Chains A and B, each alone.
Chain A
Amino acid sequence: MQFLGTDKYYLNPELKEIVNISTAMEKPLLVTGEAGTGKTQLAFEIARALDLTLEEARCKSTFKGEELCYVYDTVLRLNDSRFGTGESGRDVNDIWDYLGFGPIGRALLAEDRRVLLLDEIDKTDSDTQDNLLDVLEDASFIIREINHKVKAKRMPITIITSNAKRELSDPFLRRCYCHHIPFPSMEEMTEIIRLHYPEISAPLMDSALAIFYHLRQQGFEKPPATAELLDWLGALQLDDAKPPITPDKIPFLGTLLKRTQDLLQHKGVKRENV
Chain B
Amino acid sequence: MFLPFFYQLRDQGIPISLRHVLEFYQAMEKGLALDLDRLFILMRLIFVKKVEHFDGFEQAFAAYFLGAEGGELPKFSQQAWEEKAFRRWLEEEMAKGSLPDDSLERLSLPELLQRFWDVVMEQRGKHRGGHTWVGTDGTSAFGHSGADREGIRVHGDSLHGSALKVIESRRYVDYATSATLRAENLRQVLAALKHMAPAGPLTELDVDETIDRSCRNGGEIELVFKRELRDRIQVIVLLDNGGASMRPYLDLVKLVFGLMRDHFKDLDYYYFHNCVYGCVYSDQKRLTPYFIHHLVRRDPETRVIIIGDANMAPTELMLSNGAMDYFSKIRVPGRDWLVQIRNHFAHSVWLNPIPRSRWPRESQTIYQIGEIFPMEDLTLTGIRRGVEWLNSGAPPKRARGQLAVGS
Which residues of chain A have a CB within 8 Å of any CB of chain B?
13-14, 17-18, 21-22, 24-25, 27, 32, 62, 74-75, 78-79, 81-82, 125-126, 165-167, 169-170, 173-174, 176-180, 182
| Listed A/B pairs (13) with beta-carbon separation below 8 Å | A17-B37, A21-B32, A25-B23, A25-B30, A62-B228, A74-B207, A78-B221, A81-B221, A82-B219, A126-B191, A174-B19, A176-B49, A179-B45
Say if the beta carbon of B355 comes within 8 Å of chain A: no
Q: Nearest-CB distance from A95 to chain B (Å)? A: 14
Residues in chain A near residue B263, CB distance under 8 A: 166-167
* Interface set, chain B 27-56, CB cutoff 8 A to A: 27, 30, 32, 37-38, 41-42, 45-46, 48-51, 54
Say if the beta carbon of B205 comes within 8 Å of chain A: yes
Say if the beta carbon of B106 comes within 8 Å of chain A: no
Q: Nearest-CB distance from B351 to chain A (Å)? A: 20
Q: Complex formed: what's the CA distance from A176 to B45 in Å?
A: 9
Question: Are A78 and B223 in contact (CB-based, < 8 A)?
Answer: yes
Question: Are B171 and A173 in contact (CB-based, < 8 A)?
Answer: no
Q: Nearest-CB distance from A116 to chain B (Å)? A: 18
Which one of A18, A62, A167, A179 has the greatest number of beta carbons of chain B within 10 Å? A167
Which residues of chain B have a CB within 8 Å of any CB of chain A?
17, 19, 23, 26-27, 30, 32, 37-38, 41-42, 45-46, 48-51, 54, 159-161, 166, 171-172, 184, 187-188, 191, 200, 205, 207, 210, 214, 219-221, 223, 228, 230-231, 262-263
| A21 interface neighbour in B27, B171, B184, Cβ under 8 Å | B27
Question: Are B41 and A169 in contact (CB-based, < 8 A)?
Answer: no
| Given contacts A13-B159, A13-B161, A62-B230, A178 and B45 within 8 Å (CB-CB) | yes
| B41 interface neighbour in A14, A82, A125, A165, Cβ under 8 Å | A14
Q: Complex formed: what's the CA distance from A182 to B206 in Å?
A: 47
Residues in chain B near residue A169, CB distance under 8 A: 188, 191
Residues in chain A near residue B38, CB distance under 8 A: 17, 21
Q: 7 tightest CB-CB pairs across the interface, nearest first?
A: A173-B49, A13-B160, A177-B45, A180-B51, A82-B221, A167-B187, A17-B41
Question: Are B49 and A174 in contact (CB-based, < 8 A)?
Answer: yes
| Given contacts A14-B160, A166-B262, A167-B187, A178 and B41 within 8 Å (CB-CB) | no
| Complex: chain B residue closest to A22, CB-CB | B45
Q: Complex formed: what's the CA distance from A179 to B220 in Å?
A: 55
Question: Are B184 and A170 in contact (CB-based, < 8 A)?
Answer: yes
Residues in chain B near residue A27, CB distance under 8 A: 45
Question: Are A25 and B219 in contact (CB-based, < 8 A)?
Answer: no
